[in-house]
Structure 1
Amino acid sequence: MKIIFGKFIHSIACALNSIFNLLINILNAIVMIFEGLGQVLMLIGCSVIFIFPIFFIALPSELVFLILLIAVVPFLGKSFISLLRYGNYTLIEWMYDKADSLITGDKKGFDNISDYANKYRMEKERERRRKAEEERQRQQEEFNKRFEEFFKGFSFTGYDSNEGYSGYRNNNGYKGAFVNDLGFKEKYENYCSILGVNPNADQYEIKLAYRKLAKKYHPDVSDDPNATEKFQKINEAYNFLSQENIKKYKNM
């Protein structure tokens, strides 16, 4: 009986999921159309106001209402789409897990639907942070690219493996003090790759990864023919990824 009831709930969940997705797609299309109309009206409106400043005073009320509707629909539509996605995730995931629990006899997911709502918010926050981090990295890469192009005519002196360049000399022979991080970012990320950790990893994650690899490639216990070389690189990476350099990388 439980299996039959579970399959019934699963069927309802599939149907509701299809309805939610259909509504979301329809609203997305409507929002895109109204956004396009809004851009056209904005372009026409700016041109007309520039030429005939009092033109809009003579517009009929119906046309004014239509213009306001075109301006408001995208905002309301996006809010409603977000609400539908929220409801689709929380309700459908809850129903799927309940159905699986009844069919298999093993507990799946959470007991309360509010827990799914909290999970949805957490996943959206993680997605927001991921996009923010990607945008930060993109801006950093763009900055590094422009920085290197700007200082293309300079020859750098006083290089230190941990701190970068400590001085510079331009094409006219002028020498000055300069501290810059050219190469530090790439070196840091390369050492993170050696340890198999994300560049945003903290000191605890780095230490765990180091201990795991050091145990695996220690020359006294490893059968790998390149164990000594790998062990040296692992130690070099761990020594470089100090708390100071972790802080320095995250502040870049």
Structure 2
Amino acid sequence: MALLQLADGVLNYQLDGPADAQVLVLSNSLGTDLGMWDVQIPAWSEHFRVLRYDTRGHGGSLVTQGPYSIEQLGGDVLALLDALDIEHAHFVGLSMGGLIGQWLGINAGHRLHSLTLCNTAAKIANDEVWNSRINTVLKGGQQAMADLRDGSIARWFTPAFAQAQPAEAQRICQMLAHTSPEGYAANCAAVRDADYREQLGRIQVPTLVVAGTADVVTTPEHGRFMHRRIVNATYAEFPAAHLSNVEIGAAFTARVLDFLLAR
């Protein structure tokens, strides 16, 4: 892993794969870090220079005063690309990472070879949901983050996966327990305020939309909405809950890789 010095702190990132290959950027979901993509790295790094990073407020990256915005988080991605002299990249984002991907597709599509939007929506939940969660974690601190971890398994994974792969489910959910409450709350505000429903038509880069049939956070209908609004987008749906890349790792990895290699 390495650190990029931004004006207000550091961004933690990791590179895997051939130095001369096209770059593939991976963006994590709210409450996780770059380790959420571990299952994908062996296959994807055979073909791409894979660039993972911890979103501001998560993992080893900076925690600055909130609220954040998706525009700010997208700016962090562009700053990372600029610092590493990467002019164009593929981008895969899940949930909040998918919102960042939408912002990049709308505002910086000239920097992208392709865009993959996983288990996300143009508008995720409502203000009441996010404001309640922000208040809870700011009042409860790290204990509130631990409580969120205990409740997240049911949202992030199907019961069948949680029962069959308890160690992997716990590994991912522990990321949430270790996330800074201040950083988490600031990112909740970014997700709360993001709404790209009327801007999706501006995305012109090749786009794959991935949804999970059991995802109650960002439902298949959210995915199909993006698919309809983005020009020439491709749609894939898997029997999974919110973190489909973890739950059905091999099938997810193969489907996204097929899309990336065809670009």
Does TM-score exceed 0.5, indicating one fold? no
- Which has the larger strand fraction? 2
> TM-score, normalised to structure 1's length?
0.21
- Which has the larger helix fraction? 1
> TM-score, normalised to structure 2's length?
0.20
Larger radius of gyration: 1
